[in-house]
């Protein structure tokens, strides 16, 4: 199977997935890492692993429609079974999302449906929640709102800052996302009535 990973920056989740695929010998290959920014640090790691990389820079396109069309052409050149959004910081158009329905995953650093959007750790601290976390979900046209595949809970400590909370959540992201991607690759996920059923093998 072919997995294409989309990033915008650091790429630590992409790295966790690449490493898991190698060490656990998944029946799948990361066929490309694609970024919307040429300066995404994660591209360096991917290239060093021998993974083909590509940049489709949103700033080169006049609107979302044309950016998404160009991105789709590049992605489909790798014939992916699964698209993994890993810190990919662009809102995608409905036709793009529809094209990859049921085969595009995202990771969001909160316990959805709490705190969609950006600055999730700031939102959690402002709300005073005592538990926070991370969600992997299928991507639908509504932002951070697709069927939930997996979640992990992270405690909020007194005295936490956005940075300390983010670091605690990120550790869980690196565990959760490879596991969820592996479930997809192993055909363990089905969507029924907008909810995900997991049949672990
Ligand atoms: C992660 O916290 C992810 O959940 C969020 O953006 C961050 C990306 O980090 N969507 P990285 O690029 O994977 O290191």
Query: How close is the Cα of 170 to the center of ligand 1, in Å?
Result: 8
Q: Are residues 113 and 156 in the same domain?
A: yes
Q: Are residues 77 and 3 in the same domain?
A: yes
Query: Is the C-beta atom of 144 inside 6 A of ligand 1?
Result: no
Mean per-residue pLDDT of the chain: 97
Q: Are residues 7 and 54 in the same domain?
A: yes
Q: In the annotation, is 108 catalytic?
A: yes
Q: Are residues 122 and 173 in the same domain?
A: yes
Atom 6 of ligand 1 has which residue's CA nearest to it? 87
Predicted pLDDT at 21: 98
Q: Are residues 93 and 127 in the same domain?
A: no
Q: Are residues 1 and 94 in the same domain?
A: yes
Asked whether the ipTM of the predicted complex exceeds the cut of 0.90, the reply is yes
**Is 80 exceeded by the pLDDT of residue 45?**
yes
Choose one of 100, 124, 154: the last residue of a domain: 100
Query: Is the C-beta atom of 86 inside 6 A of ligand 1?
Result: yes
Mean pLDDT, rounded, for 61-75: 98
Mean pLDDT, rounded, for 108-128: 98
Confidence of residue 200 (pLDDT cuts 50, 70, 90): confident
Predicted pLDDT at 201: 59
Rounded Cα distance between 19 and 174, Å, is: 10
Q: Which atom of ligand 1 is nearest to the CA of 7?
A: 12
What domain range is 90 assigned to? 1-100
Q: Which atom of ligand 1 is nearest to the CA of 169?
A: 2
Choose one of 50, 71, 100: the last residue of a domain: 100
Q: Are residues 91 and 124 in the same domain?
A: no
Measured between its terminal Cα atoms, the distance across the chain in Å is 17
Confidence of residue 148 (pLDDT cuts 50, 70, 90): very high
Choose one of 37, 71, 100: the last residue of a domain: 100
Q: Are residues 95 and 1 in the same domain?
A: yes
Residues 7, 35 contacting (CB under 8 angstroms): yes
What pLDDT, in 10s, does the model give residues 71-91?
A: 999 999 999 999 999 999 999
Q: How many angstroms separate the Cα of 195 from the Cα of each of 89, 113, 164?
A: 25, 13, 32
Number of domains composing the chain: 2
- Percent of all residues in the chain with a pLDDT value above 90, rounded to a whole number: 99
User: Ligand 1 pocket test: which of 13, 89, 132, 168 has the largest number of ligand atoms within 8 Å of its C-beta?
Assistant: 13
Can you point out the beta strands (E) in the chain? 2-7, 29-35, 53-55, 82-85, 104-108, 131-138, 148-155, 189-192, 195-198
Predicted pLDDT at 23: 98
Q: Are residues 131 and 90 in the same domain?
A: no
User: Ligand 1 pocket test: which of 84, 88, 115, 173 has the largest number of ligand atoms within 8 Å of its C-beta?
Assistant: 173
Q: Are residues 125 and 64 in the same domain?
A: no
Q: Are residues 126 and 82 in the same domain?
A: no
Q: Which atom of ligand 1 is nearest to the CA of 173?
A: 4
Mean pLDDT, rounded, for 5-17: 98
What pLDDT, in 10s, does the model give residues 160-183?
A: 999 999 999 999 999 999 999 999
Query: How close is the Cα of 86 to the center of ligand 1, in Å?
Result: 6
What CATH number is attached to the domain comprising 135?
Answer: 3.40.50.170
Q: Are residues 27 and 1 in the same domain?
A: yes
Residues 34, 5 contacting (CB under 8 angstroms): yes
**Is 90 exceeded by the pLDDT of residue 35?**
yes
């Amino acid at each position: 199977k072919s997995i294409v990973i989309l990033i915008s920056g650091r790429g630590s989740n992409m790295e966790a997935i690449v490493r898991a695929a190698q060490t656990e010998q998944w029946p799948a290959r990361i066929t490309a890492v694609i970024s919307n920014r040429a300066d995404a640090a994660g591209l360096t790691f991917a290239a060093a692993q021998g993974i083909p990389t590509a940049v489709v820079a949103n700033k080169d396109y006049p609107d979302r429609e044309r950016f998404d069309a160009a991105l789709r052409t590049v992605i489909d050149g790798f014939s992916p079974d699964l698209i993994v959004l890993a810190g990919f910081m662009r809102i995608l158009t409905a036709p793009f999302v529809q094209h990859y329905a049921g085969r595009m995953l995202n990771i969001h650093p909160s316990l959805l449906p709490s705190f969609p959007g950006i600055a999730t750790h700031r939102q959690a601290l402002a709300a005073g929640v005592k538990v926070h976390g991370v969600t992997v979900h299928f991507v639908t046209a509504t932002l951070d709102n697709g069927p939930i595949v997996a979640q992990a809970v992270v405690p909020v400590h007194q005295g936490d800052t956005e940075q300390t909370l983010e670091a605690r959540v990120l550790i869980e992201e690196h565990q959760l996302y490879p596991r969820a991607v592996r479930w997809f690759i192993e055909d363990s996920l089905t969507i029924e009535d907008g909810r995900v059923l997991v049949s672990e093998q």
